[in-house]
Amino acid sequence: TQLSHKISPNSERHPRMKRAIHVIPDLSGISQIEAFRQRFDRLYQHIAAHITLVFPFDLPASDDVVKTHCQSSSSGIEPFTVQLLPPHRSHDDHLLLPVTDSAPLRELTERLYSGPLSALTGTRRNSSFHITVARPPLPPPTECDSLQDHLIFPVTIDVTSITLEAIRPDDRSLIIGHFALRQ
């Protein structure tokens, strides 16, 4: 099942909805990841697999201001690739696909935490980049191993854009904008 999330005009976003910024890679050629998430990630139906760059935030800046910031932050960064590593269980019992260290990904994140989002710098998480594939309660280890049994790691994925979303009270994602990386 391909998830579809519509781009929302400002009028659909409730003012108390948090926003977040992600890389949502095209994983259509890697169906095992979404199939695993469908079974073990309660957010599967709400948002596609993603790498969070700016965790959910609530700032008074308008959607238009944040969209302009996302556009300028992504400008001048060419599309790049990252690699997903074998599944790892986090200290808080999530199953993650770690993402290899990437200078362009770090630069993009640094840019996003500037300007109208600079107030978030103090709340920035120190966790490494990753894609969450399962949330507590985690499946038995044999189920967790099944993902590794069906994929050859590392898996290379393309990063071609960033996505700004609003998170509805029911955890559904409203896409506010997609911003292509470009030189």
pLDDT of residue 15: 60
What pLDDT does residue 11 have?
45
Which of 78, 74, 63 minimizes the C-alpha distance to 175? 63
Cα torsion 29, 162, 112, 18: sign: negative
Overall average pLDDT of the 122-151 stretch: 87
Domain ranges of the chain: 18-180
Question: Does residue 5 carry a pLDDT above 60?
Answer: no
Q: What is the pLDDT of residue 14?
A: 60
- Each residue's pLDDT tens digit, 89-103: 999 999 999 999 999
Q: Which of 38-52, 107-121, 133-147 has the lowest mean pLDDT?
A: 133-147
Other CB atoms within 10 Å distance of the CB of residue 136: 11
Confidence grade of residue 4 (pLDDT, cut at 50, 70, 90): very low
pLDDT at residue 13 in the model:
52
Q: Which residue has the higher pLDDT, 5 or 141?
A: 141
**HEC secondary structure over 38-58:** HHHCCCCCCCCCCEEEEEEEC
Rounded distance, CA 150 to CA 153, Å? 10
CATH label, 18-180, candidates 3.40.50.800, 3.90.1140.10, 3.40.50.720, 1.10.260.40: 3.90.1140.10
